[in-house]
Amino acid sequence: MTEQITIQHLLSREDLQCIICTELIYPPFMQCNSALHFVCPECYLKLGRSNCPSCRDNIIFHNKLLERNLKEIIKECPYSECKRQIFEWDLKTHSTDCTFGPSKCFFCEAIVNSDEYREHLVTECDGLEWIARDRVETKSLIAHEMEE
């Protein structure tokens, strides 16, 4: 039988910030080997596989143990196209700022979910007609100016 031990470590919100962009981290949790230096997935991809930008440790690893221990307080973004996982205390802020959340239609100012925007333009709004009309008018204007 495998013995289990309990390890407690108190983390503050500041501890869970990316050391590059200072945003809250989200899975996968990338951490340097030497300290509590976390890098969010986006910054990690930009870094490449280089050293920790803070302490220069040459090992940055995926902290699966921390992910497992924090899974109870990590939630999915409510917008289906967004794949980000968020700490429950930051869910409201993320939902408000998420690029996949509802936004105002540029043409008719209706509030539309991002995954329904294309359908909205085709069926409920004259947005595509406006774009097509604008292109024709622009081409006509350019052709007219070239003739002069």
Task: Look at residue 130 and tell me if it is in a domain.
Answer: yes
Do both 90 and 107 map to the same domain?
no
Say if CB 41 and CB 28 are below 8 A apart. Answer: yes
Q: For the ranges 5-19, 26-40, 78-92, which has the lowest average pLDDT?
A: 5-19
Do both 107 and 90 map to the same domain?
no
Q: How far is CA 93 from the centre of its chain?
A: 12
Q: Looking at per-residue confidence, does 107 or 17 come out higher?
A: 17
Do both 88 and 114 map to the same domain?
no
Do both 107 and 123 map to the same domain?
yes
Structure tokens at 78: 């409510």
Tell me the C-alpha distance between 124 and 14, whole Å: 45
Say if CB 95 and CB 78 are below 8 A apart. Answer: yes
pLDDT of residue 64: 93
Q: What is the mean pLDDT of the chain?
A: 80
Say if CB 85 and CB 76 are below 8 A apart. Answer: yes
**H/E element holding 76?**
strand 74-76
Task: Look at residue 62 and tell me if it is in a domain.
Answer: yes
- The domain in which residue 122 lies consists of 103-147
Do both 128 and 86 map to the same domain?
no
Say if CB 60 and CB 49 are below 8 A apart. Answer: yes
Task: Look at residue 51 and tell me if it is in a domain.
Answer: yes
Do both 50 and 119 map to the same domain?
no
Domain count, the chain: 2
Task: Look at residue 4 and tell me if it is in a domain.
Answer: no
- Final residue of a structural domain among 97, 119, 136: 97
Do both 47 and 92 map to the same domain?
yes
Q: What is the pLDDT of residues 32-87, one digit of tens each?
A: 888 789 998 889 888 876 778 888 877 888 999 889 988 898 999 988 888 889 88
Calculate mean pLDDT across residues 23-32: 90
Q: How confident is the model at residue 21 (pLDDT cuts 50, 70, 90)?
A: very high
